[in-house]
Amino acid sequence: MPDKKDKKTSSPLLCTLDGFKAYIQLFIGLFVLYLILSPFVSLNGSSGVLAMAGSPYDGDILVRFLMALLLLVLIIIALIMTFRRRMTADNLIFLVIIAGLICRFCYMLYTPFYIRGHDVGTMYDYGHLAYIYRLFSGGGLPATNAGQFYHPPLAHLAGSIAAKIYASITGEKNLDTIFESAKLIPCFASCALLLVVNHLFDTLHFSSRAKLVALIILAFAPTFIILSASINNDMLMIFFFVCAFLYTIRWYNDPTYKNILLLALFIGCAMSTKFSGALVAFFTAGIFLLVLIRKIREKQGLKLLGQFAAFTALCFPLGLWYPIRNLKLFGQALGYVAPIGTNSALYVGDKSFAARFLSFSLPDMLKNVYCHPFDDFRIWEYTVKCALFGEFTFSARHDVFAAVMIITSFVLIILSLGSMVWFLFCDREKNRTAVLSLAALWLLMMLSFVYFNIKYPFGCTMDFRYIVPTVITGAAFLGLLSDSLSGSKAGKVLFACLIALAVFFCVSTACFYIV
């Protein structure tokens, strides 16, 4: 969330994205646009028929045309501002963020909630849709932990409230139409995340160039586009997770009650959305320990005890109330994951560790550009593709753009990992707070991901949605790299190549989700 201390410029355009009010305005704006445009959108299928991941779905052609038109208008505006010498880094950042909002909203608009979702189910089973429907219809919290009902309810409650408001305003009676509006919650979370990471980069003291490069990649990162239409709890949890990471850094820089209470709120909300949101608390605990040691050395350690008590009083009840409820009612262990039998077609535990974790083939990825959770077992190939296309298959006309996305994404990943290693061990002058905190978050996510896949060896466990924050760390290191590629002619050439690569990635992504 915003903080005046993060503001580095007084750009009128960027100021419109600053402040808590901006998030309220963003949600209202998305809701109003949805009310206006959704009646004109044709959505095929029904929630009563479970959509198969292997069935391509292209979406309403008018919405895709609108998406292309709006992005073209932004390009024209950027060119006009450049020719008139009014283009600044902040203005370009603003336009990039707007482009990201357009991609997310339009994709959400033309994609039904029962298409490319995870464990959505129907209104009458134990999937995420049934969870939302239960809360929408006044059924209260689940009386079982079957299916997806074991999850905390915050995302489902938010979706049911959005659906209630939509139904009240429009008078709509068709349940499928009503629950389409629940997509506004993940769409808002995905859009708002762009504002949060903008503040995060300011908090980490990124230069305008570094922030611009990182935001260009994040604005068009496909995983955020796909999750913007998924009514499960992933996108909202990721939003709270990144907010918690942001406020951990802010508290480290300025250990005040305001920052630690907001930090407690965001961790608690992340855990009340999906229990795996607690993972960010490991990073926060490390920061708490570092600051405590620092304060003890300054003989001010006692001043933090009150803050830690306040943090505990807010975070623990908010984050643990539902897991404790389920523990008492159903004997559900903390950190419980719905079991999948080894006889499932998703089971990959019969493959060797080397085959799963140590094999990688770019040609194989280009030959089979989409994920197949019932067949794939090479985790890193799967993860790269899943970050771009989810677990889903698209029509053949997307294949060329998909291949470009895979190649450019692969190169960007290699560059970001190389940059992280370089800044950690070679260039120790570079923004150590940013480098160490981003690297720690990346390492935390990847270790938990590998452990998760060892403990639960299934195709669905390889899904990139479990490590989405690594997109942010990767983009951030590419931004830091761009700062280092300046001064010499070679550096300028390499910077131009990096920008060209990022542009190819963004253009191919936009085309992929438009055609």
pLDDT above 90: residue 498:
yes
pLDDT for the residue numbered 50? 55
Determine how many CB atoms are found less than 10 A away from the CB of residue 176.
17
Contacts of range 32-36, beta carbons closer than 8 Å, 24 or more positions apart: 33/105, 34/109, 34/166, 34/181, 34/184, 35/166, 35/169, 35/170
Q: How far apart are CA 325 and CA 332, in angstroms?
A: 9
SS3 of the chain: helix, strand, coil, percent, to 5: 70, 0, 30
pLDDT for the residue numbered 19? 72
pLDDT above 60: residue 10:
no
What are the tens digits of pLDDT across the range 150-198?
A: 999 999 999 999 999 999 999 999 999 999 999 999 999 999 999 999 9
Average pLDDT taken over every residue of the chain: 92
What are the tens digits of pLDDT across the range 94-118?
A: 999 999 999 999 999 999 999 998 8
pLDDT for the residue numbered 445? 97
pLDDT for the residue numbered 511? 96
Instruction: Place 4 in a pLDDT band, splitting at 50, 70 and 90.
Output: very low
Structure tokens at 451: 């452990």
Beta bridge partners of 347: 458
Q: How far apart are CA 485 and CA 482, in angstroms?
A: 5
What are the tens digits of pLDDT across the range 376-433?
A: 999 999 999 999 999 998 988 999 999 999 999 999 999 999 999 999 998 877 789 9
pLDDT for the residue numbered 207? 93
Q: How far apart are CA 178 and CA 231, in angstroms?
A: 13
Structure tokens at 277: 């949101």
Place of tokens 């002619």: 489
pLDDT for the residue numbered 173? 95
Q: What angle do CA 72, 76, 79 make, to 5 degrees?
A: 140
Side-chain-side CA neighbours of 175 within 13 Å: the count stands at 15
Q: Are 132 and 158 in contact (CB under 8 A)?
A: no
Beta bridge partners of 458: 347
Place of tokens 């004109």: 40
Strand, coil or helix: 215:
helix
Place of tokens 């190169």: 411
Contacts of 354 (CB under 8 A, 6+ apart): none
Distance of CA 73 to the CA centre of its chain: 26
Place of tokens 């040691």: 293
Contacts of 495 (CB under 8 A, 6+ apart): 482, 485, 486
Most distant CA atoms of the chain, gap in Å: 66
Q: How far apart are CA 152 and CA 324, in angstroms?
A: 11
Q: Got the DSSP string for 345-414?
A: TTB-TTS-HHHHHS---HHHHHHS-S--TTT---HHHHHHHHHHHTT----GGGHHHHHHHHHHHHHHHH
Instruction: Place 17 in a pLDDT band, splitting at 50, 70 and 90.
Output: low
Q: Is the pTM of this model over 0.75?
A: yes
Instruction: Place 6 in a pLDDT band, splitting at 50, 70 and 90.
Output: low
Determine how many CB atoms are found less than 10 A away from the CB of residue 444.
18
- Average confidence (pLDDT) over 353-372: 93
Q: Are 267 and 284 in contact (CB under 8 A)?
A: yes
Strand, coil or helix: 199:
helix
Strand, coil or helix: 152:
coil
pLDDT for the residue numbered 16? 57
